[in-house]
């Protein structure tokens, strides 16, 4: 797991003839002598969507005006650039093999050394995920040193909004503390270079929380414990950095079961702690806020509103408490946030008297989302927020407050007017990409959580917001009729329908008049034939169960099951012949084809790689029967006879995603774009000669972890490529 440290090897060896597509038995060993040529420099930028992911932590530096950091559950960490009013990504250098490190479990700064920054990384703590790591920087994240851990972290698991779980000891800047989910408390005495477990008076229960927070109150350190049953201690402290003990008199019960976050008011010597009955962000139905006087050990409950009431419409007002931040300039002033409050909407409460009285800032908030219209979620106006566990108060400006939600960061400078503060921070998990050959948009994207977006500009959040009528959560399918680009269809998880069509290239939508019953529970990929007269919809449940595909020849008014279509396969339309569809059965390694508009399918090529549902079949634009099959580490295969036979390319040994764009000057075949491997690392490549040779077009500072979902070139702009990432949105690259 050290792909980010590997150097790109130099130049292509061998001739084009040696790199030509060669028919070989599938599975036969092959030597890949051809390495990628060095490409001309590419400039990489985010397609602006406007956030779109869960911001789990925000941290102002206590000693430097205008310096702040943010962390996300799957999209890395960012530094705020006050000059440009935007976030700068800090972890894009993490490569394919390090995809699990794009989730940031915790971050820490050193008040005495403003340039130092620490991150603990690890997205999942499951057995199939890699171990965590700690990154440490002496230049605010511009460059990093890395230490691999022998424990797992869980930045995209329950409790990911708690924290921070990483702390610089205020008594000694060389000493760091790291809370883990399953392995207790770790300590470093050399600024994060090495780590050792320390004795801690609590035992992990297997729930996956462990240490939820670390905070300094003067020279005393406090640690929250998330595996308590609500009756045993869940807050501990050490005065000497050696011996930890339970804090006496601490609150107990369901409303104080899990300590979520804590903040210390130096002026009043009070430690404020937010609690919930579950780690969140989901599942919380009770919670509380308490303060501890660190001088005499007295606890006081200061909960703004106790969960459990009833809203005006009779709904139960259940929620927990999440973020907490104190005002460094005004003792006794603090903010706390509710979390998972769906009935009455989450809010941020503010107190100026140490929690005796509170004001809900949501009650008077004016939200301006004109810069990120998708935040309306298809409604008339946006809501104040949800999943609010990241909350920060500027130590140099008492009226400057930031909080994170499941899709953005909101900020205010006057405690009334709020707007997204999200420029530069993009965290979407992109799934499908279309670059239309005509129209006002160069890109349409299908995404996790935020459905489909029509990008009339690459540098501004789509003015139409998310595709509506209906609104989707996650998109599962997106397709355009090749010979009728104004016709686009989409599928996904929605409350008011799971499929829709557009007759204006994806600007406006209408739901299918009907849909198969299985669509509600298992919406899958969808395809439109070349002229848009036939739709094929495949169905896959989130648990992997696959169902029979259905066909419609009347724009979704009626649907008929297609028994001969391989269950769960992705339908692919021939871009030139409206009677042809294709599908790849990964169970058997068989290519199926239809020549009657999707009414029936028959097997063609057999014996291809099998056993992986993420293989990808792509049809080359403007050509009938020109098919390319990405089979991960089983390589790249091509058919020019509609799937009757396939030949394996010897120019790359791994192919994870493939797409096409405008041909180079003088070339008669589209440019081919690849996420795969022609040498030691997985990278992004372009070929201008039908995949005989490749040039790498990304670099070691632009790798974005997992990038195997989708890639496509622009059919109108040579060299421009769009890349779907799992947590860094849609990246697009262009030759400098």
* Catalytic residue positions, numbered: 73, 449
User: How far is residue 47's CA from residue 393's CA, in Å, rounded to a whole number?
Assistant: 29
What is the rounded CA–CA span in Å between residue 191 and residue 297? Answer: 31
**Residue holding tokens 């003088």?**
666
Q: DSSP letters along 323-379, please?
A: EEEE-SSSTT-EEEEEES-TTT---EEEESSTTSS-EEGGGG-EE--TTSGGGGTTS
Query: Whole-angstrom Cα distance, residue 287 to residue 307?
Result: 7
Distance CA 137, CA 144 (A): 5
E-only strand ranges, 530-626? 535-540, 546-552, 560-562, 572-573, 581-585, 590-594, 602-603, 616-619
Paired with 583 in beta bridges are: 592
68 DSSP β-pair partners: 60
Tokens of 667: 């070339």
The residues facing 349 across adjacent strands are: 336, 360
Tokens for 439, please give them: 């129209």
Cα–Cα distance list, 568 to 306, 525, 588, 636 (Å): 47, 9, 13, 22
Question: With the CA atoms of 597, 603, 609 and 614 taken in that order, what torsion angle do they form, in degrees rounded to the nearest 10?
Answer: 30
Q: Which residues, 6 or more positions from 259, have their beta carbon under 8 angstroms from its beta carbon?
A: 162, 212, 213, 224, 225, 226, 234, 235, 273, 274, 275
Handedness of CA 658, 662, 664, 666 (dihedral sign): positive
- Residues 193, 206, 280, 394: what is their CA dihedral angle, to the nearest 10 degrees? -20
Q: Which of 714, 713, 709 is nearest to 724 (CA)?
A: 709
């Amino acid at each position: 797991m050290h792909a980010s440290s590997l150097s790109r090897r130099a130049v292509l060896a061998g001739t084009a003839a040696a790199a030509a597509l060669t028919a070989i038995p599938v599975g036969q060993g092959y030597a890949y002598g051809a390495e990628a040529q060095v490409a001309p420099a590419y400039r990489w930028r985010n397609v602006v969507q406007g956030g779109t992911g869960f911001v789990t932590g925000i941290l102002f530096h206590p000693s430097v005006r205008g310096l702040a950091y943010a962390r996300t559950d799957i999209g890395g960490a960012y530094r705020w650039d006050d000059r440009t009013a935007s976030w700068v990504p800090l972890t894009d250098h993490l490569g394919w093999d390090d995809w699990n490190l794009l989730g940031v479990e915790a971050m820490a700064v050193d008040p005495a050394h403003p340039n130092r920054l620490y991150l603990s990384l690890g997205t999942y703590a499951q057995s199939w995920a890699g171990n965590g790591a700690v990154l440490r920087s002496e230049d605010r994240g511009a460059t990093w040193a890395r230490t691999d851990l022998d424990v797992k972290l869980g930045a995209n698991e329950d409790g990911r909004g708690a924290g921070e779980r990483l702390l610089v000891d205020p008594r000694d800047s060389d000493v760091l503390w790291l809370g883990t989910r399953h392995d207790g408390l770790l300590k470093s005495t050399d600024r994060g270079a090495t780590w050792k477990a320390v004795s801690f008076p609590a035992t992990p229960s297997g729930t996956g929380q462990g240490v939820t927070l670390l905070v300094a109150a003067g020279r005393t350190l406090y640690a929250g414990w998330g595996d308590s049953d609500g009756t045993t201690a869940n807050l501990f402290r050490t005065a000497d950095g050696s011996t930890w003990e339970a804090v006496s008199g601490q609150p107990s019960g369901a409303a104080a079961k899990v300590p979520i976050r804590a903040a210390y008011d130096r002026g009043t010597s009070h430690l404020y702690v937010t609690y919930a009955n579950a780690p969140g962000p989901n599942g919380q139905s009770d919670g509380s806020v308490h303060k501890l006087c660190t001088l005499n050990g007295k606890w006081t409950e200061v909960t703004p509103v106790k969960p459990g009431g009833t809203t005006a419409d009779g709904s139960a007002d259940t929620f927990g408490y999440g973020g907490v931040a104190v005002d460094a300039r005004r003792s006794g002033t603090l903010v706390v946030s509710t979390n998972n409050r769906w009935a009455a909407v989450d809010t941020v409460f503010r107190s100026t008297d140490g929690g005796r009285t509170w004001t809900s800032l949501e009650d008077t908030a004016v939200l301006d989302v004109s810069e990120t219209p998708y935040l309306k979620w298809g409604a008339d106006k946006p809501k104040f927020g949800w999943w609010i566990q990241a909350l920060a108060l500027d130590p140099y400006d008492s009226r400057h407050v930031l909080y994170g939600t499941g899709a953005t960061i909101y900020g205010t400078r006057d405690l009334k007017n709020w707007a997204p503060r999200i420029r530069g921070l993009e965290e979407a998990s992109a799934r499908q990409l279309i670059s239309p050959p005509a129209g006002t948009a160069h890109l349409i994207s299908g995404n996790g959580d935020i459905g489909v977006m029509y990008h009339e500009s690459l540098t501004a959040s789509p003015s139409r917001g998310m595709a509506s009528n209906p609104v989707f959560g996650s998109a599962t399918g997106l397709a355009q009729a090749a010979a009728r680009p104004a016709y686009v269809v989409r599928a996904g998880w929605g409350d008011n329908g799971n499929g829709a069509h557009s007759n204006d290239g994806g600007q406006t939508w209408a739901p299918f008049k009907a849909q198969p019953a299985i669509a509600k529970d298992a919406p899958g990929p969808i395809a439109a034939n070349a002229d848009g007269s036939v739709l094929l919809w495949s169905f896959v449940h989130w648990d992997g169960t696959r169902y029979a595909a259905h066909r419609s020849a009347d724009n979704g008014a009626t649907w008929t099951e297609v028994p001969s279509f391989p269950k769960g396969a992705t339908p692919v339309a021939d871009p030139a012949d409206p009677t042809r569809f294709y599908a790849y059965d990964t169970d058997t390694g068989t290519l199926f084809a239809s020549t009657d508009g999707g009414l029936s399918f028959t097997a063609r090529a057999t014996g291809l790689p099998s056993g992986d549902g993420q293989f990808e079949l792509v049809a080359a634009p403007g050509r009938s029967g020109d098919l390319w099959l990405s089979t991960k580490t089983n390589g790249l295969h091509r058919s020019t006879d509609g799937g009757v036979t396939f030949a394996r390319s010897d120019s790359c040994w791994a192919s994870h995603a493939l797409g096409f764009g405008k041909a180079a000057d003088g070339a008669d075949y589209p440019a081919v774009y690849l996420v795969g491997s022609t040498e030691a690392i997985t990278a992004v490549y372009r070929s201008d000669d039908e995949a005989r040779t490749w040039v790498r077009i990304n670099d070691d500072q632009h790798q974005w972890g997992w990038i195997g979902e989708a890639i496509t070139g622009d059919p109108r702009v040579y060299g421009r490529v769009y890349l779907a990432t799992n947590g860094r949105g849609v990246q697009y690259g262009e030759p400098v």
